[in-house]
Amino acid sequence: MGPSPFIIVAIDGGAASGKSSSSRILAEQFNLLHVDTGSFYRHLTAELLRRRVPPTDAGALELTLAALEFSTQIDGRSARMLVDGAPAGDDIRSQDVNSMVSHYAAVPAVRAALLAYQRGQREVAQQHNLRGLVMEGRDIGSVIFPDATFRFFLHADPLERAKRRAAEGQTDSITERDRLDSSRKASPLTCPQGAIDIDSTSLTLDQVVAKMAALIAPALTA
């Protein structure tokens, strides 16, 4: 038996569809790097809001994005994006960021600024001797890693998702974010062809993870 292969697990889905919790558990279970790309878009949004660069000002956005430097800090098994050396603050989960992030994420220049950085997480995982990475977002299986070993797409009823966010004590306009994320031209939220579609509405987190883990485990012992 040769060395176990390096695997990439892509998990896409709408807001509060269970991506973060399931990816975090899978990362622990299989020794993978956990990469939450939503936190990257949130961090960049908080930075652009701080610098008062609106998503509609293409010129200022281009100049600002070109000057920002992205690097990675590993926290346990999670990748944290640093912008000009600084980690994200708690404000990335604020109402301001919740309401603006999808507007910035719809701008092609913003997506382009994060593209190579996100793909570079493969090397970060390899450098840390992890067995692979699990990356969650909206366009991971369609754009970032279309050749991922596994591509999952999580669905859940909007009412159930709103309940999950409320249980976390968060006010989040998930329906509006999903509408913007699904209707944008640049890398819209969509279940890519060939991805494994899981409806988590009436499943517990453990059941969702078990479905994914049952597919992943054999690939790591192959």
Structure tokens at 197: 């579609």
Give the SS3 label for residue 196.
strand
Sheet holding 70-75, edge to edge: 70-75, 78-83, 33-36, 132-137, 7-13, 150-155, 196-199
Is residue 17 close enough to count as binding ligand C5P by CB under 6 A?
no
Is 81 near ligand C5P (CB under 6 A)?
no
Taking CB under 6 A as the criterion, the residue among 22, 23, 64, 102 binding ligand C5P is 102
Tell me which stretch binds ligand C5P (CB under 6 A): 38-46, 49-57, 69-77, 154-162. Answer: 38-46
d(CA 51, CA 222): 49
By the rule CB under 6 A, 8 interacts with ligand C5P:
no
Q: Which region among 24-32, 52-60, 98-106, 163-171 touches ligand C5P (by CB under 6 A)?
A: 98-106
Q: Between 30 and 145, whose beta carbon lies closer to ligand C5P?
A: 145
Neighbour count for residue 76 (Cβ, 10 Å):
9
Shortest Å distance, C-beta 212 to ligand C5P: 17
- Identify whether the C-beta of residue 41 lies closer than 8 Å to the C-beta of residue 106: no
User: Do 90 and 98 contact (CB within 8 A), yes or no?
Assistant: no
Q: Is 105 in the site for ligand C5P (CB under 6 A)?
A: yes
Give the shortest CB-3-to-ligand C5P separation in angstroms: 30
Cα 93 to Cα 165: distance, rounded to the nearest angstrom? 11
Tell whether residue 138 is a contact of ligand C5P (CB under 6 A): yes
The footprint of ligand C5P (CB under 6 A) covers 15, 37-38, 41-42, 101-102, 105, 137-140, 177, 181
